[in-house]
Structure 1
Amino acid sequence: MKCGKVYLIGAGPGDADLLTVKAARLIGQVDTILVDDLVNRDVLRYARTDAEIIHVGKRGGRMSTPQEYINQLCLEHVEAGKDVARLKGGDPFIFGRGGEELFTLRRAGVVVEVISGLTSGIAVPAAFDIPLTYRHIAQTATFVTGTTSGNDEVCWRSMVELSGTLVIYMGISRLEHITQRLLASGLDPDMPAAAIQNGTLAEQRFLLSRVCTLAADIRAAKLQSPAIIIIGSVVSLAHS
Protein backbone atom coordinates (compact mmCIF):
# COMPACT_ATOMS: atom_id res chain seq x y z
CA MET A 1 0.00 0.00 0.00
CA LYS A 2 1.25 3.46 -0.89
CA CYS A 3 1.80 5.72 2.12
CA GLY A 4 0.00 9.02 2.39
CA LYS A 5 1.47 12.50 2.76
CA VAL A 6 1.33 15.02 5.59
CA TYR A 7 0.59 18.69 4.95
CA LEU A 8 1.79 20.83 7.86
CA ILE A 9 -0.57 23.78 7.48
CA GLY A 10 -0.65 27.15 9.19
CA ALA A 11 -4.31 28.06 9.73
CA GLY A 12 -3.67 31.75 10.36
CA PRO A 13 -4.30 34.01 13.37
CA GLY A 14 -7.99 33.31 13.96
CA ASP A 15 -10.23 34.85 11.31
CA ALA A 16 -11.02 32.01 8.90
CA ASP A 17 -10.95 34.44 5.97
CA LEU A 18 -7.21 34.91 6.56
CA LEU A 19 -6.52 31.27 5.66
CA THR A 20 -4.38 31.04 2.52
CA VAL A 21 -5.89 29.83 -0.73
CA LYS A 22 -3.48 26.88 -0.85
CA ALA A 23 -4.33 25.85 2.71
CA ALA A 24 -8.06 25.90 1.93
CA ARG A 25 -7.52 23.79 -1.19
CA LEU A 26 -5.48 21.15 0.63
CA ILE A 27 -7.91 20.97 3.56
CA GLY A 28 -10.51 20.07 0.96
CA GLN A 29 -8.40 17.25 -0.48
CA VAL A 30 -7.09 15.27 2.49
CA ASP A 31 -8.56 12.21 4.20
CA THR A 32 -7.66 13.12 7.78
CA ILE A 33 -7.36 16.47 9.57
CA LEU A 34 -5.57 16.86 12.91
CA VAL A 35 -6.66 20.19 14.40
CA ASP A 36 -4.90 22.20 17.11
CA ASP A 37 -6.89 23.91 19.84
CA LEU A 38 -6.22 27.46 18.62
CA VAL A 39 -7.42 26.81 15.07
CA ASN A 40 -10.74 28.48 14.25
CA ARG A 41 -13.20 25.66 13.56
CA ASP A 42 -14.69 27.73 10.72
CA VAL A 43 -11.77 26.67 8.51
CA LEU A 44 -13.14 23.14 8.59
CA ARG A 45 -15.89 24.25 6.22
CA TYR A 46 -13.38 23.54 3.46
CA ALA A 47 -13.01 19.89 4.50
CA ARG A 48 -14.56 16.99 2.63
CA THR A 49 -17.76 15.71 4.20
CA ASP A 50 -16.17 12.28 4.60
CA ALA A 51 -12.87 13.54 6.06
CA GLU A 52 -11.94 12.29 9.52
CA ILE A 53 -11.41 15.25 11.85
CA ILE A 54 -9.39 14.68 15.02
CA HIS A 55 -9.01 17.43 17.62
CA VAL A 56 -5.58 17.39 19.23
CA GLY A 57 -5.75 20.34 21.60
CA LYS A 58 -2.49 22.00 22.63
CA ARG A 59 -2.57 25.17 24.70
CA GLY A 60 -0.11 26.43 27.29
CA GLY A 61 -1.17 26.06 30.91
CA ARG A 62 -3.99 23.63 30.11
CA MET A 63 -4.36 19.90 29.64
CA SER A 64 -3.00 19.19 26.17
CA THR A 65 -2.57 16.28 23.80
CA PRO A 66 1.02 14.98 24.14
CA GLN A 67 3.21 15.82 21.17
CA GLU A 68 4.35 12.20 20.88
CA TYR A 69 0.73 11.06 20.51
CA ILE A 70 0.12 13.60 17.73
CA ASN A 71 3.21 12.38 15.89
CA GLN A 72 2.02 8.78 16.24
CA LEU A 73 -1.44 9.66 14.90
CA CYS A 74 0.13 11.22 11.82
CA LEU A 75 2.25 8.13 11.26
CA GLU A 76 -0.66 5.73 11.67
CA HIS A 77 -2.81 7.56 9.14
CA VAL A 78 -0.14 7.99 6.46
CA GLU A 79 0.88 4.34 6.85
CA ALA A 80 -2.76 3.48 6.16
CA GLY A 81 -2.44 5.33 2.85
CA LYS A 82 -4.23 8.49 3.96
CA ASP A 83 -3.24 12.07 3.25
CA VAL A 84 -3.20 14.14 6.44
CA ALA A 85 -3.61 17.86 7.08
CA ARG A 86 -1.95 18.86 10.34
CA LEU A 87 -3.62 22.19 11.13
CA LYS A 88 -1.77 24.54 13.46
CA GLY A 89 -2.70 28.06 14.53
CA GLY A 90 -0.81 30.94 12.92
CA ASP A 91 2.30 29.73 11.12
CA PRO A 92 3.61 26.27 12.03
CA PHE A 93 7.21 27.49 12.22
CA ILE A 94 6.57 30.47 14.54
CA PHE A 95 6.36 29.11 18.11
CA GLY A 96 4.17 26.26 16.85
CA ARG A 97 6.60 23.33 17.23
CA GLY A 98 6.16 22.74 13.52
CA GLY A 99 9.86 22.09 13.05
CA GLU A 100 9.77 19.28 15.61
CA GLU A 101 6.83 17.62 13.86
CA LEU A 102 8.41 18.05 10.43
CA PHE A 103 11.70 16.39 11.31
CA THR A 104 10.10 13.65 13.42
CA LEU A 105 7.92 12.65 10.48
CA ARG A 106 10.72 12.91 7.93
CA ARG A 107 12.98 10.72 10.06
CA ALA A 108 10.20 8.13 9.89
CA GLY A 109 10.25 8.36 6.09
CA VAL A 110 7.05 10.39 5.74
CA VAL A 111 6.70 12.91 2.93
CA VAL A 112 5.80 16.29 4.45
CA GLU A 113 4.94 19.60 2.79
CA VAL A 114 4.83 22.82 4.82
CA ILE A 115 2.19 25.45 4.00
CA SER A 116 2.90 28.73 5.74
CA GLY A 117 0.18 30.62 7.56
CA LEU A 118 -0.22 34.24 8.61
CA THR A 119 1.25 34.47 12.09
CA SER A 120 -0.65 36.34 14.79
CA GLY A 121 2.39 38.50 15.56
CA ILE A 122 1.85 40.24 12.21
CA ALA A 123 -1.90 39.98 11.64
CA VAL A 124 -3.11 40.90 15.12
CA PRO A 125 -1.22 44.22 15.44
CA ALA A 126 -2.29 45.06 11.88
CA ALA A 127 -5.94 44.63 12.89
CA PHE A 128 -5.45 47.66 15.15
CA ASP A 129 -3.33 49.69 12.72
CA ILE A 130 -0.07 48.95 14.52
CA PRO A 131 2.74 48.76 11.94
CA LEU A 132 5.57 46.72 13.43
CA THR A 133 8.11 48.77 11.49
CA TYR A 134 7.79 52.44 10.63
CA ARG A 135 10.31 54.77 9.07
CA HIS A 136 12.24 56.82 11.67
CA ILE A 137 10.37 55.06 14.52
CA ALA A 138 11.09 51.32 14.38
CA GLN A 139 13.66 49.71 12.10
CA THR A 140 13.40 46.25 13.66
CA ALA A 141 10.64 43.92 14.83
CA THR A 142 11.44 40.98 17.08
CA PHE A 143 9.21 37.99 17.79
CA VAL A 144 9.83 36.29 21.12
CA THR A 145 8.05 33.71 23.24
CA GLY A 146 7.16 34.60 26.80
CA THR A 147 7.01 30.93 27.77
CA THR A 148 10.21 28.91 27.71
CA SER A 149 11.18 25.46 28.90
CA GLY A 150 14.01 24.52 31.22
CA ASN A 151 16.80 27.08 31.30
CA ASP A 152 15.97 28.67 27.93
CA GLU A 153 15.34 32.11 29.42
CA VAL A 154 15.12 34.91 26.86
CA CYS A 155 17.88 37.52 27.05
CA TRP A 156 15.60 40.49 27.65
CA ARG A 157 18.53 42.91 27.74
CA SER A 158 19.28 42.12 24.10
CA MET A 159 15.63 42.79 23.27
CA VAL A 160 15.95 46.27 24.79
CA GLU A 161 19.22 46.94 22.97
CA LEU A 162 17.56 46.29 19.60
CA SER A 163 15.31 49.31 20.34
CA GLY A 164 12.63 48.33 17.83
CA THR A 165 9.23 46.71 18.22
CA LEU A 166 8.90 43.70 20.51
CA VAL A 167 6.12 41.19 19.87
CA ILE A 168 5.62 38.66 22.66
CA TYR A 169 3.72 35.42 22.13
CA MET A 170 2.39 33.38 25.06
CA GLY A 171 3.48 35.98 27.59
CA ILE A 172 0.38 36.73 29.66
CA SER A 173 1.13 34.31 32.50
CA ARG A 174 4.70 35.61 32.95
CA LEU A 175 4.18 39.24 32.03
CA GLU A 176 5.08 40.69 35.41
CA HIS A 177 8.42 38.87 35.30
CA ILE A 178 8.99 39.91 31.68
CA THR A 179 8.25 43.60 32.22
CA GLN A 180 10.44 43.65 35.33
CA ARG A 181 13.32 42.21 33.32
CA LEU A 182 12.78 44.71 30.50
CA LEU A 183 12.71 47.65 32.91
CA ALA A 184 15.80 46.36 34.73
CA SER A 185 17.51 46.21 31.33
CA GLY A 186 16.89 49.91 30.73
CA LEU A 187 13.59 50.03 28.84
CA ASP A 188 11.72 53.33 29.22
CA PRO A 189 8.92 52.72 31.77
CA ASP A 190 6.61 54.92 29.69
CA MET A 191 7.18 52.94 26.48
CA PRO A 192 3.78 52.31 24.84
CA ALA A 193 2.52 48.76 25.08
CA ALA A 194 -0.59 46.90 24.00
CA ALA A 195 -2.20 43.55 24.70
CA ILE A 196 -4.65 41.98 22.26
CA GLN A 197 -6.70 38.92 23.16
CA ASN A 198 -8.32 36.74 20.47
CA GLY A 199 -7.00 39.02 17.75
CA THR A 200 -8.81 39.07 14.36
CA LEU A 201 -11.88 37.36 15.87
CA ALA A 202 -15.21 39.02 16.60
CA GLU A 203 -14.52 38.76 20.35
CA GLN A 204 -11.07 40.40 20.16
CA ARG A 205 -10.11 42.70 23.03
CA PHE A 206 -7.57 45.52 22.95
CA LEU A 207 -5.75 47.14 25.86
CA LEU A 208 -3.45 50.15 25.52
CA SER A 209 -0.95 50.75 28.30
CA ARG A 210 2.66 51.50 29.22
CA VAL A 211 5.31 48.95 30.09
CA CYS A 212 5.44 50.03 33.74
CA THR A 213 1.71 49.37 34.27
CA LEU A 214 1.04 46.73 31.61
CA ALA A 215 0.88 43.68 33.88
CA ALA A 216 -1.42 45.42 36.37
CA ASP A 217 -3.66 46.78 33.61
CA ILE A 218 -4.03 43.32 32.07
CA ARG A 219 -4.98 41.85 35.45
CA ALA A 220 -7.54 44.61 36.01
CA ALA A 221 -9.05 44.10 32.56
CA LYS A 222 -8.97 40.30 33.01
CA LEU A 223 -7.37 39.72 29.64
CA GLN A 224 -6.42 36.11 29.10
CA SER A 225 -4.62 33.89 26.63
CA PRO A 226 -4.44 33.63 23.71
CA ALA A 227 -3.01 37.12 23.51
CA ILE A 228 -0.24 39.02 21.78
CA ILE A 229 1.80 41.69 23.56
CA ILE A 230 3.31 44.53 21.51
CA ILE A 231 5.88 46.88 23.04
CA GLY A 232 7.40 49.84 21.22
CA SER A 233 6.85 53.37 19.99
CA VAL A 234 4.70 52.13 17.08
CA VAL A 235 1.98 51.18 19.58
CA SER A 236 1.15 54.89 19.88
CA LEU A 237 -0.15 54.70 16.29
CA ALA A 238 -2.84 52.16 17.23
CA HIS A 239 -6.56 52.64 17.10
CA SER A 240 -8.81 50.74 19.50
Structure 2
Amino acid sequence: MSIIYPLTHLSLALIEWVLIGWAIRLWQQSTSFAMMVLPIVLLSISYDNLILSIGSFIGAGELLKTLSMLRFLLHYLVVPLFIVIGVELAHRAGASWANGVMRVLSAIVALGLATIDIATHYIGLELVPIEFAGILRYHVANLSGPPIITIVVNIFVLLIGIGIWFRLKLPWLFLGTLISFFGNALPSDIVGTLAGSASEFVMAIGLLLTEEFSQKTKQKIIRESLLINR
Protein backbone atom coordinates (compact mmCIF):
# COMPACT_ATOMS: atom_id res chain seq x y z
CA MET A 1 0.00 0.00 0.00
CA SER A 2 2.85 2.42 0.85
CA ILE A 3 4.09 2.39 -2.76
CA ILE A 4 0.74 2.19 -4.57
CA TYR A 5 -0.35 5.75 -3.80
CA PRO A 6 2.93 7.47 -4.80
CA LEU A 7 3.25 5.42 -8.01
CA THR A 8 -0.36 6.10 -8.96
CA HIS A 9 0.08 9.84 -8.42
CA LEU A 10 3.25 9.76 -10.52
CA SER A 11 1.41 7.84 -13.26
CA LEU A 12 -1.38 10.41 -13.26
CA ALA A 13 1.17 13.24 -13.50
CA LEU A 14 2.76 11.66 -16.57
CA ILE A 15 -0.51 10.69 -18.28
CA GLU A 16 -1.80 14.22 -17.83
CA TRP A 17 0.96 15.38 -20.18
CA VAL A 18 -0.61 13.10 -22.78
CA LEU A 19 -3.93 14.85 -22.12
CA ILE A 20 -2.18 18.21 -22.64
CA GLY A 21 -1.08 17.00 -26.08
CA TRP A 22 -4.63 15.85 -26.79
CA ALA A 23 -6.02 19.28 -25.83
CA ILE A 24 -3.47 21.09 -28.01
CA ARG A 25 -4.38 18.86 -30.98
CA LEU A 26 -8.07 19.64 -30.51
CA TRP A 27 -7.27 23.35 -30.29
CA GLN A 28 -5.28 23.20 -33.53
CA GLN A 29 -8.20 21.53 -35.26
CA SER A 30 -10.80 24.11 -34.25
CA THR A 31 -9.10 26.97 -32.37
CA SER A 32 -11.39 26.17 -29.44
CA PHE A 33 -10.67 28.58 -26.59
CA ALA A 34 -11.66 25.86 -24.13
CA MET A 35 -8.76 23.75 -25.38
CA MET A 36 -6.40 26.71 -24.90
CA VAL A 37 -7.39 27.00 -21.24
CA LEU A 38 -7.54 23.28 -20.41
CA PRO A 39 -3.75 22.70 -20.78
CA ILE A 40 -3.20 25.33 -18.06
CA VAL A 41 -5.48 23.36 -15.76
CA LEU A 42 -3.78 20.10 -16.69
CA LEU A 43 -0.34 21.54 -15.98
CA SER A 44 -1.49 22.46 -12.48
CA ILE A 45 -3.06 19.04 -11.88
CA SER A 46 0.07 17.30 -13.15
CA TYR A 47 2.24 19.37 -10.82
CA ASP A 48 -0.09 18.54 -7.93
CA ASN A 49 0.26 14.81 -8.60
CA LEU A 50 4.02 15.08 -9.05
CA ILE A 51 4.54 16.78 -5.67
CA LEU A 52 2.29 14.24 -3.96
CA SER A 53 4.23 11.38 -5.53
CA ILE A 54 7.69 12.59 -4.43
CA GLY A 55 6.81 14.09 -1.04
CA SER A 56 8.17 11.11 0.91
CA PHE A 57 11.35 11.17 -1.17
CA ILE A 58 11.95 14.89 -0.47
CA GLY A 59 11.01 14.60 3.20
CA ALA A 60 9.41 17.10 5.53
CA GLY A 61 11.08 20.49 5.50
CA GLU A 62 11.18 23.89 3.85
CA LEU A 63 11.63 22.54 0.30
CA LEU A 64 8.51 20.37 0.35
CA LYS A 65 6.62 23.09 2.19
CA THR A 66 7.53 25.67 -0.49
CA LEU A 67 6.57 23.29 -3.29
CA SER A 68 3.31 22.62 -1.47
CA MET A 69 2.59 26.34 -1.13
CA LEU A 70 2.87 26.60 -4.90
CA ARG A 71 0.60 23.56 -5.22
CA PHE A 72 -2.12 25.28 -3.22
CA LEU A 73 -1.66 28.56 -5.09
CA LEU A 74 -2.10 26.85 -8.45
CA HIS A 75 -5.17 25.05 -7.16
CA TYR A 76 -6.85 28.29 -6.09
CA LEU A 77 -5.98 29.90 -9.43
CA VAL A 78 -7.05 27.16 -11.85
CA VAL A 79 -10.20 25.64 -10.31
CA PRO A 80 -12.37 28.63 -11.39
CA LEU A 81 -11.07 28.17 -14.96
CA PHE A 82 -13.41 25.18 -15.24
CA ILE A 83 -16.20 27.77 -15.48
CA VAL A 84 -14.54 29.33 -18.54
CA ILE A 85 -14.02 25.91 -20.14
CA GLY A 86 -17.62 24.88 -19.44
CA VAL A 87 -19.09 28.06 -20.94
CA GLU A 88 -16.86 27.71 -24.01
CA LEU A 89 -18.00 24.11 -24.53
CA ALA A 90 -21.64 25.21 -24.14
CA HIS A 91 -21.00 27.92 -26.75
CA ARG A 92 -19.54 25.39 -29.15
CA ALA A 93 -22.52 23.12 -28.50
CA GLY A 94 -24.82 25.89 -29.71
CA ALA A 95 -26.34 26.98 -26.41
CA SER A 96 -27.98 30.38 -27.00
CA TRP A 97 -27.20 31.64 -23.50
CA ALA A 98 -23.44 31.06 -23.98
CA ASN A 99 -23.06 34.21 -26.10
CA GLY A 100 -20.21 36.67 -26.26
CA VAL A 101 -21.28 38.51 -23.13
CA MET A 102 -21.49 35.30 -21.09
CA ARG A 103 -18.11 34.14 -22.36
CA VAL A 104 -16.48 37.37 -21.20
CA LEU A 105 -18.45 37.27 -17.96
CA SER A 106 -17.25 33.71 -17.27
CA ALA A 107 -13.64 34.92 -17.40
CA ILE A 108 -14.44 37.81 -15.05
CA VAL A 109 -16.23 35.46 -12.63
CA ALA A 110 -13.32 33.00 -12.74
CA LEU A 111 -10.87 35.79 -11.96
CA GLY A 112 -13.08 37.00 -9.12
CA LEU A 113 -13.42 33.55 -7.57
CA ALA A 114 -9.67 32.97 -7.80
CA THR A 115 -9.08 36.32 -6.10
CA ILE A 116 -11.52 35.46 -3.31
CA ASP A 117 -9.93 32.05 -2.77
CA ILE A 118 -6.42 33.52 -2.59
CA ALA A 119 -7.51 36.34 -0.27
CA THR A 120 -9.44 34.10 2.11
CA HIS A 121 -7.47 30.86 2.00
CA TYR A 122 -3.97 31.39 0.59
CA ILE A 123 -2.86 34.59 2.31
CA GLY A 124 -1.71 33.57 5.77
CA LEU A 125 -1.90 29.88 4.83
CA GLU A 126 -0.42 27.57 7.46
CA LEU A 127 0.66 24.08 6.45
CA VAL A 128 1.51 21.06 8.56
CA PRO A 129 3.02 17.75 7.38
CA ILE A 130 0.77 14.71 7.23
CA GLU A 131 1.44 11.16 6.05
CA PHE A 132 -1.03 8.66 4.63
CA ALA A 133 -0.46 5.46 2.60
CA GLY A 134 3.12 6.36 1.72
CA ILE A 135 2.23 9.96 0.78
CA LEU A 136 3.97 12.72 2.73
CA ARG A 137 2.34 16.06 2.04
CA TYR A 138 1.69 19.40 3.63
CA HIS A 139 -1.91 19.88 4.70
CA VAL A 140 -3.82 23.03 5.66
CA ALA A 141 -3.69 23.48 9.41
CA ASN A 142 -7.03 23.89 11.18
CA LEU A 143 -9.01 23.27 8.00
CA SER A 144 -12.65 24.13 8.58
CA GLY A 145 -15.63 23.70 6.29
CA PRO A 146 -15.97 22.31 2.76
CA PRO A 147 -14.30 23.94 -0.28
CA ILE A 148 -17.27 26.12 -1.24
CA ILE A 149 -15.84 27.53 -4.47
CA THR A 150 -14.82 24.08 -5.72
CA ILE A 151 -18.34 22.81 -5.02
CA VAL A 152 -19.94 25.80 -6.79
CA VAL A 153 -17.68 25.32 -9.83
CA ASN A 154 -18.49 21.60 -9.99
CA ILE A 155 -22.25 22.22 -9.80
CA PHE A 156 -22.06 24.90 -12.51
CA VAL A 157 -20.10 22.65 -14.89
CA LEU A 158 -22.42 19.76 -14.00
CA LEU A 159 -25.42 21.79 -15.19
CA ILE A 160 -23.59 22.65 -18.40
CA GLY A 161 -22.84 18.96 -18.84
CA ILE A 162 -26.55 18.16 -18.59
CA GLY A 163 -27.32 20.76 -21.26
CA ILE A 164 -24.67 19.39 -23.64
CA TRP A 165 -25.93 15.85 -23.00
CA PHE A 166 -29.44 16.80 -24.08
CA ARG A 167 -28.31 19.01 -26.96
CA LEU A 168 -25.60 16.85 -28.54
CA LYS A 169 -26.29 13.47 -26.88
CA LEU A 170 -22.82 13.61 -25.31
CA PRO A 171 -22.82 12.53 -21.63
CA TRP A 172 -19.05 12.79 -21.09
CA LEU A 173 -18.90 16.19 -19.42
CA PHE A 174 -21.79 15.36 -17.08
CA LEU A 175 -20.33 11.98 -16.09
CA GLY A 176 -16.78 13.32 -15.65
CA THR A 177 -17.96 16.23 -13.52
CA LEU A 178 -20.27 14.00 -11.45
CA ILE A 179 -17.35 11.67 -10.66
CA SER A 180 -15.19 14.68 -9.80
CA PHE A 181 -17.88 16.08 -7.53
CA PHE A 182 -18.14 12.92 -5.44
CA GLY A 183 -14.40 12.20 -5.58
CA ASN A 184 -13.52 15.63 -4.22
CA ALA A 185 -16.20 15.28 -1.54
CA LEU A 186 -14.38 12.31 0.03
CA PRO A 187 -12.32 13.42 3.06
CA SER A 188 -8.61 13.10 2.23
CA ASP A 189 -7.71 12.45 5.86
CA ILE A 190 -9.71 9.19 5.63
CA VAL A 191 -9.25 8.00 2.02
CA GLY A 192 -6.07 9.86 1.10
CA THR A 193 -5.39 12.12 -1.87
CA LEU A 194 -5.81 9.58 -4.65
CA ALA A 195 -9.61 9.80 -4.91
CA GLY A 196 -9.55 13.56 -5.47
CA SER A 197 -6.67 13.44 -7.94
CA ALA A 198 -8.19 10.58 -9.92
CA SER A 199 -11.56 12.34 -10.08
CA GLU A 200 -9.94 15.50 -11.49
CA PHE A 201 -8.22 13.32 -14.08
CA VAL A 202 -11.58 11.78 -15.05
CA MET A 203 -13.16 15.23 -15.30
CA ALA A 204 -10.39 16.35 -17.67
CA ILE A 205 -11.05 13.32 -19.86
CA GLY A 206 -14.75 14.22 -19.85
CA LEU A 207 -13.91 17.72 -21.09
CA LEU A 208 -11.65 16.36 -23.82
CA LEU A 209 -14.18 13.74 -24.98
CA THR A 210 -16.87 16.42 -25.11
CA GLU A 211 -14.72 18.60 -27.37
CA GLU A 212 -13.63 15.62 -29.49
CA PHE A 213 -17.15 14.41 -30.19
CA SER A 214 -18.48 17.95 -30.50
CA GLN A 215 -16.05 18.53 -33.35
CA LYS A 216 -17.06 15.26 -35.00
CA THR A 217 -20.76 16.12 -34.64
CA LYS A 218 -20.22 19.51 -36.28
CA GLN A 219 -18.23 17.94 -39.12
CA LYS A 220 -21.03 15.43 -39.67
CA ILE A 221 -23.64 18.20 -39.82
CA ILE A 222 -21.54 20.14 -42.33
CA ARG A 223 -21.10 17.06 -44.55
CA GLU A 224 -24.82 16.30 -44.46
CA SER A 225 -25.62 19.93 -45.31
CA LEU A 226 -23.28 19.84 -48.30
CA LEU A 227 -24.89 16.64 -49.56
CA ILE A 228 -28.37 18.13 -49.26
CA ASN A 229 -27.36 21.29 -51.15
CA ARG A 230 -25.89 19.38 -54.07
Q: Same fold (TM over 0.5)?
A: no
Structure richer in strand, relative to its length: 1
TM-score under structure 1 length normalisation: 0.27
Normalised by the length of structure 2, the TM-score is 0.28
